[in-house]
Structure 1
């Protein structure tokens, strides 16, 4: 049973509820709608997935930050009540919300003047997007010397392709017997891993949950004799999944000041290998933000025990207070 945590804390990684799992036969053979997109269509239509901050919006954002700064609050205190946004910015973000939640599932917003802001205040000025759902946000502060670029793919287009080309792989990915490493982020009474599926069919939607690093890093648990590891068929399925995703992906380059938002439930994302600058030049630096939109805010229902929580998923170890490191730990 999951550990009961206070409402203000995140729930951490969860295993699905068995009674909510649907067998492969219940999944749609083909998904349609705005969540299914092809990279070749989006390459020729950047207006579908790129937005820009206007000078007026940036000025309003800076003024909102100035009001927040005098309160003495810090980044973990940053929310819609402590850092209210002007109506124009709310409208701008609301126009993006539908694309991210129920549309293509990703967006690129260009033009934050991060080179003009101090390093410590940039996150406060740039992370005011709490109305967007279970989403990964990346803000580029410094680029690598080469590489480190971004690929995104529609998980629903990927599903359709697997169903057409490798239905055996699609079926394997719907079984909740994949091991995901908790990477040491373990609360009292929890196992150091969880078992989940990669694709779920719940509340009429196909939902994806996959991170190759969390799947491939279970080796130490296998070597310790704690789990059997993945079968040869599963290892092949991972390879097919990644190769197919790469073939279907849209490639983009984040410039300094660009923000990328990606919906984890129906978009897979990756970065290319990179080579960094040598000191004293600034190294590659992206700020990452994990956002949750619960069911009460229009988020997709999920077959997990924390689906209706205000804060779901993420990382939570026991009752540790939230922290917001501005650099890698």
Structure 2
């Protein structure tokens, strides 16, 4: 398997390294909070997703965010911004601050075919399954990556117990598969079709038109995209079962993602903003028990950010078909097509990712 080689850049970390060196945590000091509060005053009258970068001016904080971006894009692929006093704000104002910070890190893209730009991650009392949004349940989530360059989460409220964030370097998973079973890298580089969960563009296939590589080398960078919850229904719908090698490769990927050596687990605190590079990290979450009181329930806000920083191969990036690279989940309107009809009441809205 001489065509595959280990990757030795900073994105290849293990759990012990992240525990021992927490330079990936950035803290908002009093001056930063004062600057964020001043920016908030300028946008209080603007609907959250109408706020533009120039509406939310930052200087000191913007300089810190530049370092954060470098860490996420060229370093270990993650960062946590800590110290935003979320209990001092209404949820709307906390959302405005989060949105404003996000605009200094990238450009928000749509997280589903209804053009939602700011997602709410909370338990809505539904069960997790192939047709249900995992982030609207209290269930354990499998390791996966989202359909954006960067995914950000702001923690507003934590659960009573559980709900830990689990992160694993896909670069390290690649290197370990190369060490243990190099023969299983081929099916991962060849990739899998995705079931697009009803979010395909009108007139296009409900499955990806070609297999999407799990691992993709392009311009000297190894990128990864993994979503087994979309692979398996695609095999079923195409009527072509996965080969034994494909199943073995997915099983080994999952085993390594959850392994004690590679998987880093963290409890998010209220006010934490977690940023992950989807091209070098898979993430999951443990199951949790929530509070009865609605205002105490676990609640996170999610942004999918486009940064255009990392070069991506077209066959890796265009998951929804030609012209859809880095668009998140593309909306029909973006392609001059009629908008989707309203959802029927009570039906869960499908979404790629969590």
Aligned: 1:174 with 2:146 = no
For CA contacts below 8 A with separation 6 or more, give which structure has more relative contact order: 1
In structure 1, the partner of 2:145 is none
When normalised by structure 1's length, the TM-score is: 0.80
What's the TM-score, normalizing by structure 2? 0.74
Tell me, which stretches of 5 or more residues in structure 1 are unaligned? 1-23, 322-327
CA distance in 2, matches of 1:55, 1:32: 38
Query: What SS does the aligned partner of 1:196 have?
Result: coil
Name the stretch that deviates more: 279-288 or 166-175: 279-288
User: Which segment is superposed worse, 210-219 or 280-289?
Assistant: 210-219
Paired position in structure 2 for 1:235 = 247
Alignment partners' CA distance in 1, 2:102 and 2:295: 30
Taking structure 1 as reference, are residues 229 and 184 closer, same or farther at Cα in structure 2, changes over 3 Å only? farther
| Shift in Å, 1:25 | 5.6
Partner of 1:246: 258
| Superposition map of 1:1-329 within 5 A | 26-27=3-4, 29-46=5-22, 48-70=23-45, 73-83=46-56, 85-127=57-99, 128-132=101-105, 134-176=149-191, 178-194=192-208, 195-218=211-234, 222=236, 225-247=237-259, 248-280=262-294, 282-294=296-308, 299-304=309-314, 312-319=326-333
| Cα shift at 1:310 | 11
141-150 or 95-104: which moved more? 141-150
What's the offset of the Cα at 1:292? 0.6
- Size of the alignment, in residue pairs? 285
Please list the CA deviations of residues 277-322 of structure 1 after superposition, one character each: whole Å capped at 9, or x if unmatched.
234562221111100112xxxx111112768x8982311220168x
Contact between 1:131 and 1:293, CA under 8 Å: does it hold in 2?
A: no
Write out the 4+ residue segments of structure 1 that deviate beyond 6 Å after TM superposition.
none
Gaps of 5+ in 2: 107-148, 340-347, 350-354
Shift of 1:110: 1.0
Across the aligned residues of Structure 1 and Structure 2, the Cα RMSD in angstroms comes to 2.3
How far apart, CA to CA, are the structure 2 residues paired with 1:284 and 1:136? 18
Whether contact under 8 Å (2:72, 2:277) holds in the other structure is: yes
